[in-house]
């Protein structure tokens, strides 16, 4: 953390000397650099930077060093960004309680703020931010439930390896609500904490559940890794194809399964769009006074299934998806 | 003593864990129904046990000798990551990937062992260090080399048959490995003369050294065994699941310790048995898998797992006390 | 008289600036028990460590059968036939009698890589060795050492040392933690070892126990041998007085009385340690 601060301080000095340029100087805050999701965000940042730099501005992507002291560090990194005196700030509002005061300080310092990835439009309004660009976990969950029903599923489970985590619970709730409203049944399969991160535990749990509840014909996994294991579990129960499998996010193996028909779909919040839109909208607002009346801007849920899997694979190859 | 009377069976280190196992199986047959004993269900919890058990035995031996190994949490990821990197990302033959994974296991095991033996820093701290160091190294390398945190591996059919396949009604091939490895360890620990050394080191390291046991080499060997076993299981998981994420399996650390302690190994060393650990691992797998066959609300599963495991451990304590206080009646 | 089995000549030991032992001269013959008496901190444990090869003396020499020897590891001392048995037996509480008896020298049967630990043989030999010392309560080699009484554990350790050819037996406070009956047990075994021709060095601060088995006594005070005498030369009170550092118990009692007289009848405060 200390070295980070030192680096930031150096960066701040550089930034101050660079504000001589009149065009938009934008700071973007993101997750750790070993977090695959935030590397897709980075691709959006890099592509948006081309646009901003073409107009003489600059973009600085500040990333969390660790998630261990998340509430405090996620507020601290905003203050680091403020100290660099940018004109615009794109920030995920992960932890309202700790980050909101820092975001208000940014707005008070005259920085234009857009919330992206985490937050809501209501939150953006309350803080005085321009917009919220991202997805809504509940809406995404509903999309999953609706897709399963469309595939003919009557009994769904939401495979949850992180029971009790708010955004994950919202995903499952959306899926269950959507299926129930369509006249189907759905429930959660919360896995005990002894199985988190252990693919064997997840696979065997799914298999056991399908064995003891043969009526289940739809499953939604809360992440791509969970889907890898769940697919094995479904295969072992002898139900590949009979149990429609979907998941949030995706990896190469997910796409392979969608292509071969072993998995029905993946729900994507399309992170590339989140940073790309957030930065270009901010820059347009700062440089040219443009404003987008659509609020919030939802970048997801996007569904990846047999119809668009090839384009998605092309996107994965360059890190946009 | 040619026949083994019932009473002396109860004094063996594995007695408590066997009773504990029977207890939890009975519990799930009653609450979950006979479905729990169907062949496919047995395959399901044995597969779970095999993945854990291959690592739990050497970890248990380390505990018997008075040491701990926390680094298995990242060594399992190391095993799968390295296999996937070498044979998936770089496309080298699978055998090269497997050798690289196991070789890395030997390396980290020796590092753990040397650090513990030379510095006398408690192994809890040393392996906590290597746990994070290895996790960080993997993640860093992975980002630098591939740019992502997930690597895909499409292993050839032979490798799948050997390490990452199901046979029968959902029996992972790893179950066979587990049984063979357990048998080898039973021989090594309880029949070969070397097993005695492990117990002696755990009972009293100074006396053991004075009796001429190469305590340092033995300790290093045990660390190598546990790191290699974790890498082995990781390698098999990479071949089975085809996609590898660079996150360490922190829960594995707890799960191995639970399996070992439920298996009757004394946390402070000097007492335990391989068969006990074997039963302890099955107990753990039965408890975690059994939940899915019951009508309990899944939300309570952690609680039920905790209570059952505590029960199994208490069972062990009772039996160990019986073994200690036993004295033959005067004839 | 034949040469002593073990002899220390002018042994000095210092740890940095601290002198722990000065000019120690002792010798023990076969079939003889030397009682090493001394208060806590007198240097007894340092002396044991020198004898058993843990520490090297700063100067002076160790002789066995009149030939100078030097131990660089405890293992070398053991190989020379010097066995040390510690207060709690130094054995492994959670191992079986048979297994702990043969730690490091396991008997095996079978062939090549399939040589296996011969449990039956180990148990038989261990049980017989202990029973030969008169501990008849031990008859099952599968019992755990931790289930034995303190005296039985000591006896097991002594029997083990003798079985593996010890010539010098160093017993470090073997009776300190034991009750009267158990201590008698151990003393009987010390006598038995003596009868078998071992040289026994018996460290204790219990004068009664020392007098029961000792042939020869050495009192250590602040790192030097303050007195060296043979059985029957001194009374129990004299030995106790010697151990207390030269002051007589009578003197001490007087001092305490004086203190109480000058402090309104309060005893002197006890300073720990």
Asked, for residue A310, whether it belongs to a domain, the answer is no
Name which of B190, B200, B266 is nearest C103 (Cβ-Cβ): B200
What does the pLDDT read at residue A18?
Answer: 45
- A191–B35: do the CB atoms touch at under 8 Å? no
Strand C32-38 relative to strand C216-221: parallel, antiparallel, unpaired?
A: parallel
C-beta of residue A283 within 8 angstroms of C-beta of residue A133: no
Mean pLDDT of chain B: 87
Neighbours of C218 (CB within 10 A): 22
Pick the residue from chain A with its C-alpha nearest to B251.
A194
Pick the residue from chain C with its C-alpha nearest to B330.
C137
Q: Tell me: do A37 and A123 sit in the same domain.
A: yes
d(CA A96, CA A122): 12
Element (H, E) at C143: none
Asked, for residue A142, whether it belongs to a domain, the answer is yes
Would you list the domain boundaries of chain B? 10-320
Interchain CB contact of C91 with B (< 8 Å): yes
- How much is the average pLDDT of A44-64? 92
Interchain CB contact of B213 with A (< 8 Å): no
For residue A1, pLDDT beyond 80: no
Q: How far is B7 from chain A (nearest CA, A)?
A: 36
Instruction: Give the residue numbers spanning the domain of A30.
Output: 2-135+270-300
Q: Tell me: do A172 and A48 sit in the same domain.
A: no
- How much is the average pLDDT of A34-56? 89
Q: Tell me: do A7 and A131 sit in the same domain.
A: yes
Asked, for residue A312, whether it belongs to a domain, the answer is no
- A189–B298: do the CB atoms touch at under 8 Å? yes
- Cα atoms found within 13 Å of the Cα of residue A145, Cβ hemisphere only: 28
What does the pLDDT read at residue A309?
Answer: 93
Question: Chain B residues with CB inside 8 Å of C115's CB?
Answer: 192-193
CATH of residue A145: 3.40.50.2300
DSSP C272: P
Q: Whose CA is closest to A144, among A225, A219, A209, A232?
A: A219
- CATH annotation of C6-234: 3.40.50.300
For residue A8, pLDDT beyond 70: no
What does the pLDDT read at residue A183?
Answer: 93
What does the pLDDT read at residue A73?
Answer: 86
Domain count, chain A: 2
Residues 6+ away with beta carbon under 8 Å from C239: C37, C207, C210, C211, C217, C219
- One-character DSSP codes across C199-214: EEEEEES-HHHHHHH-
What does the pLDDT read at residue A2?
Answer: 57
What does the pLDDT read at residue C93?
Answer: 78
Interchain CB contact of A130 with B (< 8 Å): no
What does the pLDDT read at residue B179?
Answer: 96
Q: Tell me: do A80 and A123 sit in the same domain.
A: yes
Query: Based on the number of CB atoms within 10 Å of its own CB, is B302 exposed (0-12), middle (13-18) or buried (19 or more)?
Result: middle
Best-predicted range by mean pLDDT among A4-13, A208-217, B100-109, B150-159? B100-109
What does the pLDDT read at residue C273?
Answer: 43
Q: Tell me: do A11 and A122 sit in the same domain.
A: yes
What Å distances lie between residue C208 and B106, C198, C235, C238, CA to CA?
57, 22, 11, 12
Question: Chain B residues with CB inside 8 Å of A209's CB?
Answer: 292
Best-predicted range by mean pLDDT among A189-203, A226-240, C172-186? A226-240
* Interior angle at CA A213, CA A211 and CA A215, nearest 5: 115
**Binning pLDDT at 50, 70 and 90, where does residue A138 land?**
very high
- Cα atoms found within 13 Å of the Cα of residue B2, Cβ hemisphere only: 0
Name which of C103, C123, C146 is nearest B211 (Cβ-Cβ): C103
Question: Chain C residues with CB inside 8 Å of B190's CB?
Answer: 117
- CATH annotation of B10-320: 1.10.3470
What Å distances lie between residue B69 and A111, A216, B27, B245, B275, CA to CA?
50, 40, 32, 22, 20
Question: Chain C residues with CB inside 8 Å of B216's CB?
Answer: none
Q: Tell me: do A126 and A55 sit in the same domain.
A: yes
pLDDT < 70 regions, chain B? 1-11, 326-331
Query: Based on the number of CB atoms within 10 Å of its own CB, is C41 exposed (0-12), middle (13-18) or buried (19 or more)?
Result: middle
Asked, for residue A307, whether it belongs to a domain, the answer is no
Name which of A196, A207, A251 is nearest B44 (Cβ-Cβ): A207
d(CA A176, CA A135): 18
For residue A186, pLDDT beyond 90: yes
A 6-35 residues with CB < 8 A to B: 33-35
- One-character DSSP codes across C221-260: ETTEEEEEEETTSS-HHHHHHHHTTS--HHHHHHHHHHHH
Q: Whose CA is closest to B280, among B302, B257, B301, B303?
A: B257
The alpha carbon dihedral of C124, C125, C130, C133 has a sign of positive
Count interface pairs B-C at CB distance under 8 A. 90
Q: Tell me: do A176 and A186 sit in the same domain.
A: yes
DSSP C113: G
With contact defined as 3+ CB pairs under 8 Å, the chains touching B are: A, C
Q: How far is A315 from chain B (nearest CA, A)?
A: 14
10-residue block means of pLDDT along chain C (273 residues)?
Answer: 83 86 89 86 84 87 88 82 75 83 84 82 89 80 82 84 87 80 84 88 85 88 82 79 65 72 68 51
Interchain CB contact of C106 with B (< 8 Å): yes
User: What are the φ/ψ torsions at residue A126 (nearest 5 degrees)?
Assistant: -60, -40
Interchain CB contact of C104 with B (< 8 Å): yes
- B212–C75: do the CB atoms touch at under 8 Å? yes
Q: Higher confidence at residue A233 or residue B323?
A: A233
What Å distances lie between residue A119 and A43, A167, B194, CA to CA?
21, 11, 61
- How much is the average pLDDT of A261-272? 93
Q: Tell me: do A116 and A162 sit in the same domain.
A: no
């Amino acid at each position: 953390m200390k070295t980070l601060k030192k680096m930031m301080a150096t960066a701040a000095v550089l930034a101050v000397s660079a504000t001589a340029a009149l065009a938009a100087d934008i700071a973007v805050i993101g997750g750790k650099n070993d977090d695959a999701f935030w590397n897709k965000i980075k691709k959006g940042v890099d592509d948006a930077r081309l646009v901003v730099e073409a107009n003489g501005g600059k973009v600085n992507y500040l990333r969390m060093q660790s998630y261990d002291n998340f509430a405090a560090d996620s507020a601290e990194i905003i203050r680091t960004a403020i100290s660099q005196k940018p004109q615009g700030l794109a920030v995920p509002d992960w932890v309202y309680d700790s980050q909101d005061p820092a975001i208000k300080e940014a707005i008070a310092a005259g920085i234009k703020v857009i919330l992206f990835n985490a937050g809501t439009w209501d939150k953006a309004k309350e803080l005085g931010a321009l917009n919220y660009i991202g997805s809504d976990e509940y809406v995404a969950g509903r999309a999953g439930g609706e897709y399963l029903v469309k595939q003919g599923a009557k009994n769904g489970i939401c495979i949850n390896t992180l029971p009790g985590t708010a955004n994950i619970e919202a995903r499952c709730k959306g899926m269950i609500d959507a299926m129930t409203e369509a006249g189907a049944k759905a429930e959660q399969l919360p896995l005990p904490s002894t199985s988190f991160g252990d693919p064997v535990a997840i696979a065997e749990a799914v298999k056991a559940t399908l064995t003891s509840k043969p009526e289940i014909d739809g499953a939604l996994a809360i992440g791509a890794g969970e889907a890898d294991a769940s697919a094995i579990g479904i295969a072992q129960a002898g139900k590949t194809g009979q149990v429609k499998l979907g998941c949030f996010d995706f990896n190469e193996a997910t796409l392979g399964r969608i292509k071969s028909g072993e998995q029905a779909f993946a729900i994507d919040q399309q992170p590339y769009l989140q940073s790309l839109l957030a930065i270009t909208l901010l820059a347009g607002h700062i440089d040219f006074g443009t404003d987008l009346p659509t609020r919030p801007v939802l970048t997801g849920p996007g569904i990846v299934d047999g119809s668009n899997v090839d384009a998605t694979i092309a996107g994965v190859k360059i890190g946009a998806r | 003593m040619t026949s083994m009377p019932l009473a002396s069976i109860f004094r063996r280190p594995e007695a408590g864990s066997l009773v504990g196992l029977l207890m939890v199986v009975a519990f799930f047959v009653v609450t979950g129904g006979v479905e729990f004993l169907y062949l496919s269900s047995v395959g399901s919890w044995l597969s779970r046990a095999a993945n854990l058990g291959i690592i739990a035995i050497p970890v248990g031996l380390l505990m018997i000798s008075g040491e701990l190994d926390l680094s298995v949490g990242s060594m399992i990821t190391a095993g799968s990551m390295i296999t996937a990197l070498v044979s998936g990302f770089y496309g080298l033959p699978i055998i090269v990937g497997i050798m690289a994974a196991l070789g890395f296991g030997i390396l980290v095991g020796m590092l753990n062992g040397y650090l513990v033996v030379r510095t006398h820093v408690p192994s809890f701290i040393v392996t906590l260090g290597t746990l994070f160091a290895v996790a960080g190294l993997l993640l860093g390398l992975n980002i630098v080399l591939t740019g992502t945190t997930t690597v895909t591996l499409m292993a050839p059919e032979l490798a799948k048959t050997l390490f990452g396949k199901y046979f029968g009604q959902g029996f992972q091939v790893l179950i066979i490995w587990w049984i063979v490895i357990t048998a080898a360890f039973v021989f090594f620990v309880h029949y070969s003369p070397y097993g005695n050394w492990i117990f002696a080191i755990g009972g009293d390291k100074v006396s053991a050294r004075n009796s001429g046991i190469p305590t340092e080499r033995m300790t290093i060997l045990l660390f190598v065994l546990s790191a290699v076993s974790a890498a082995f299981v990781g390698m098999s998981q990479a071949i089975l699941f085809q996609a590898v994420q660079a996150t360490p399996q922190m829960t594995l650390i707890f799960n191995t310790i639970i399996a070992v302690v439920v298996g009757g190994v004394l946390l402070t060393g000097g007492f335990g048995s391989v068969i006990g650990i074997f039963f302890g691992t099955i107990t753990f797998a039965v408890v975690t898998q059994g939940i899915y066959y019951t009508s309990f609300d899944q939300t309570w599963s952690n609680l039920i797992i905790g209570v059952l495991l505590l029960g199994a451990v208490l069972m062990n304590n009772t039996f160990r006390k019986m073994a200690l206080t036993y004295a033959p009646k005067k004839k | 008289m034949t040469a002593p089995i073990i002899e220390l000549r002018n042994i000095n030991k210092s740890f940095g600036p601290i002198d722990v032992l000065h000019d120690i001269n002792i010798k023990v013959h076969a079939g003889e028990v030397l009682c090493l008496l001394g208060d806590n901190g007198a240097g007894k444990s340092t002396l044991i460590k020198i004898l058993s090869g843990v520490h090297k003396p700063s100067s002076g020499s160790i002789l066995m059968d009149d030939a100078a020897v030097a131990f660089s590891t405890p293992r070398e001392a053991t190989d020379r036939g010097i066995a040390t048995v510690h207060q709690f037996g130094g054995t492994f509480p959670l191992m079986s009698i048979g297994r702990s008896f043969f730690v490091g020298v396991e008997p095996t049967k079978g062939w090549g890589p399939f040589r296996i630990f011969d449990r039956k043989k180990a148990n038989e030999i261990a049980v017989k060795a202990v029973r030969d010392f008169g501990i008849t309560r031990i008859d099952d080699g599968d019992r755990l050492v931790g289930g034995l009484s303190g005296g039985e554990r000591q006896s097991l350790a002594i029997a083990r040392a003798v079985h593996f050819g010890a010539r010098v037996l160093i017993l470090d406070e073997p009776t300190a933690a034991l009750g009267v009956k158990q201590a008698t047990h151990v003393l009987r075994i010390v006598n038995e070892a003596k009868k078998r021709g071992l040289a026994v060095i018996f460290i204790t601060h219990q004068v009664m126990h020392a007098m029961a088995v000792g042939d020869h006594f050495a009192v250590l005070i602040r790192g030097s041998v303050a007195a060296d005498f043979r059985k029957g030369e001194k009374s129990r009170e004299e030995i106790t007085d010697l151990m207390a550092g030269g002051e007589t118990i009578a003197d001490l009692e007087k001092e305490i009385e004086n203190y109480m007289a000058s402090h309104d009848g309060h005893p002197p405060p006890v300073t720990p340690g």
